[in-house]
Amino acid sequence: MNVTHLECALCALKHEARRLLNLCTKCGKPLLVRYDLEQAARSLTKESLRGRRADLWRYREVLPVDADEHIISLGEGWTPLLHARALGEQLGFRELYIKDESQNPTQSFKARGMAAAVSMAKELGAQKLAVPSAGNAAGALAAYAACAGLEAFIFMPKDTPRANVIECEQTGAHVTLVDGLITDCGAEVARRKDAEGWFDVSTLKEPYRIEGKKTLGYELAEQLDWELPDVIIYPTGGGTGLIGMWKAFDEMEQMGWIGSKRPKMVTVQAAGCAPIVRAFEAGKRFADEFPNAQTTASGLRVPRAIGDFLILDAIRASGGTAMAVTDEQLIAATREIGAAEGVFCAPEGAACLPALRKLVEAEQVGRDERVVLFNMGAGVKYLESFSS
Ligand SMILES: Cc1ncc(COP(=O)(O)O)c(C=O)c1O
Ligand SMILES: [Zn+2]
């Protein structure tokens, strides 16, 4: 297809594309896929998209899989961008939207990343895939590995929402619950992977999950008729959705689809685990590990992210910001969004609402701006977080 090479996101060292690789062989940072975008843009045009399949593979030319028959798909992507009229009215916004990722296979945006990563892992010959996960990535890996006929080895904190554990078991994965955080799960995968013959599909530790997630950016542009919103509010753990969208915007600009204007990228984290917020406020490019990480929004319980500098670079370049909200605020917001819009958000996604209120109060966002809140998963997976 159109892939030219892999490139280190920090030191820019080039790596060969058609090999199973994890991190940069020189500096240990994430590898990103680079394309011949001029060639891609010959067949991938705005007009050509009209008749294409209603999933993320509609952007085939800017996705890494070589042969069509290697695509492992459960119908991921092309999720609705809902116009949140009632909520918007309450807040005084005319153009408030929710990108509703709960409508993906396995009910979260992790399906996008795993569709791309598992397709590539299979194409390049891996047989056993391992992942540390806060929950939703695990469910997605289990499903896509099953669909691909590969084995999945999953490591999650022992207090991960039960729905995530059960879905992995019911889709045939090997599940290990770890007495610790996602970083401890990652260390366990790293320690055992060579001896066990596992390919590590940790987020941003292989180059392809982000390629699936970047389609969020392509979809957003297409659904808004090629005019990006003014503000994107993104619940950030590992940050790959945000980093992926930022990459998509650059690719679209290079293909001549959009101009150089970018949305303000806003990272929302939980007050009990806010390493990116701290680093942003301290003016740092790399984030320190957040001690004693704690939040009921399990996807935000990521005390250290390998893509920290990519998140922080994007926020700063866009004129955006980073902020924390409390668990009480995000749980209350879940009900508020649900009652106003009929969308039962994951608590991570609900965190976008108190964040928007703070942005308005601080006059960092105006009510005339077009704002998109990202709901990356389904509230129904988090029954432990809600009291009835
Ligand atoms: C529902 C939900 N929202 C948000 C996030 C955070 O996403 P990211 O890792 O891209 O920052 C996750 C990740 O686990 C998630 O499952
Ligand atoms: Zn490097």
- The candidate with the shortest Cα–Cα distance to 300, out of 323, 281, 318, 321, is 323
Residues 29 and 23: beta-carbon distance below 8 Å: yes
Q: Which ligand is nearest to the CA of 31?
A: 2
Q: Is the pLDDT of residue 117 over 90?
A: yes
Instruction: Report yes or no: 299 and 266 within 8 Å, Cβ to Cβ.
Output: no
pLDDT for 193 beyond 90: yes
- Predicted confidence at residue 143, as pLDDT, reads 98
Q: Which atom of ligand 1 is nearest to the CA of 242?
A: 10
Q: What's residue 339's pLDDT?
A: 98
pLDDT mean over 184-209:
97
Q: Per-residue pLDDT tens for 315-347?
A: 999 999 999 999 999 999 999 999 999 999 999
108 class by beta-carbon count within 10 Å (0-12 exposed, 13-18 middle, 19+ buried): buried
- With 80 as the cut, is the pLDDT of residue 388 above it? no
Query: For residue 1, what pLDDT is reported?
Result: 85
The Cα–Cα gap between 82 and 162 comes to 28
Residue 138: partners with Cβ closer than 8 Å, 6 or more residues away: 131, 154, 156, 160, 164, 168, 173, 175
What is the model's pLDDT at position 387?
82
Q: Which ligand is nearest to the CA of 238?
A: 1
Look at residue 5 and give its three-state secondary structure.
strand
In sequence order, what E strands does the chain have?
3-8, 14-15, 31-35, 81-83, 96-100, 128-132, 151-157, 174-178, 199-200, 231-235, 264-270, 321-325, 371-375
Rounded CA separation 233/315 (Å): 11
Q: Which residues are found with C-beta within 5 Å of the ion, ligand 2?
A: 8, 10-11, 13, 24, 26-27, 29
**How many Å apart are CA 322 and CA 275, to the nearest integer?**
10
pLDDT tens column, 198-246: 999 999 999 999 999 999 999 999 999 999 999 999 999 999 999 999 9
8 Å CB contact between 183 and 289: yes
Q: Which residue has the tokens 């939040």?
A: 295
Q: Is 379 in the pocket of ligand 1 (CB under 6 A)?
A: no
Secondary structure class of 156 (helix, strand, coil): strand
Pairing of strands 14-15, 3-8: antiparallel
Q: pLDDT tens across 34-45, in order? A: 999 999 999 999
Residue 362 phi/psi, 5-degree rounding, is: -85, 5
For residue 235 and ligand 1, the question of a CB distance below 6 A is answered with yes
Please provide the average confidence, as pLDDT, over all residues in the chain: 97
CA distance 157 to 309: 25
Tell me how far CA of residue 137 lies from CA of 109, 143, 208, 213, 306, in angstroms. 9, 10, 14, 12, 16
For residue 14, CA distances in Å to 82, 177, 204 come to 40, 37, 16
DSSP class of 234: E
Q: What is the pLDDT of residues 248-284, one digit of tens each?
A: 999 999 999 999 999 999 999 999 999 999 999 999 9
Q: Could you tell me the distance, in angstroms and rounded to a whole number, from the CA of residue 73 to the centre of ligand 1?
A: 21
Tokens representing 15? 């790596």
Whole-prediction pTM: 0.98
- Percentage with pLDDT > 90 across the chain: 99
Amino acid symbol at 189? V
Residue 278 CA to residue 220 CA, distance in Å, equals 29
Ligand nearest to the CA of 163: 1
Angstrom CA distances, 375 to 22, 32, 98, 139, 378, stand at 28, 25, 7, 17, 8
Query: What tokens were used for 268?
Result: 């929302």
Q: Separation of 244 CA from ligand 2 center, angstroms?
A: 18
